[in-house]
């Protein structure tokens, strides 16, 4: 059976001068339309009001204080969850942070202490607590000034 396609819906798209392809115009899917619209938008820098800029600075400073080490970070997640129990990710953050702390102490436990060398244990310990570890011998914090 031969299907006739009206010429009004066909275009010639030659990707190669030696080849000619006929393509059919089709309706774009919603996802394709959204992607095309997003590509057209240009990102303009956001201008903050003075009060907004101050608030952002305060939030960043407070976050840095609470993110000093695994203990303060874990407590901050739990405190935030108690204030806002509808924000479930805060409790998840608390548990993940606690698990990181457990992993750090487990390196000093019975099983792993037999399997890893002292150097490897120290490397893993530093890895699990990558924030503000300059006070631990052998660990270098990402924020610490290295001479």
The CB-based long-range contact list for 93-97 (8 Å cut-off, 24+ gap) reads: 97/70, 97/73
Dist. CA 42–CA 83, nearest whole Å: 38
* Residue 22 backbone dihedrals phi, psi, to 5 degrees: -105, 125
The two tokens of residue 27 are 């309706």
From first to last of its 147 residues, the chain has per-residue pLDDT tens of 555 555 555 555 555 555 555 556 678 888 888 888 888 766 677 788 999 999 999 999 999 999 887 788 888 989 999 999 999 888 888 888 777 665 555 566 666 677 778 788 777 666 665 544 444 455 554 444 433
């Amino acid at each position: 059976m031969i299907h006739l396609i009206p010429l009004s819906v066909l275009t010639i798209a030659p990707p190669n001068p030696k080849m000619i392809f006929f393509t059919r115009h089709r309706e774009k899917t919603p996802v394709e339309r959204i992607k095309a619209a997003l590509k057209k938008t240009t990102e303009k820098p956001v201008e903050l009001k003075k009060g907004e800029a101050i608030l952002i600075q305060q939030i960043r400073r407070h976050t840095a204080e609470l993110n000093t080490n695994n203990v303060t970070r874990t407590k901050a997640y739990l405190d935030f969850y108690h204030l806002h129990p509808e924000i479930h990710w805060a409790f998840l953050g608390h548990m993940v942070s606690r698990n990181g702390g457990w992993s750090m102490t487990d390196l000093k436990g019975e099983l792993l202490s037999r399997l890893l060398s002292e150097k490897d244990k120290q490397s893993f310990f530093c890895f699990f607590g990558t924030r503000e570890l300059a006070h631990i011998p052998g660990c270098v914090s990402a924020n610490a000034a290295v001479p």
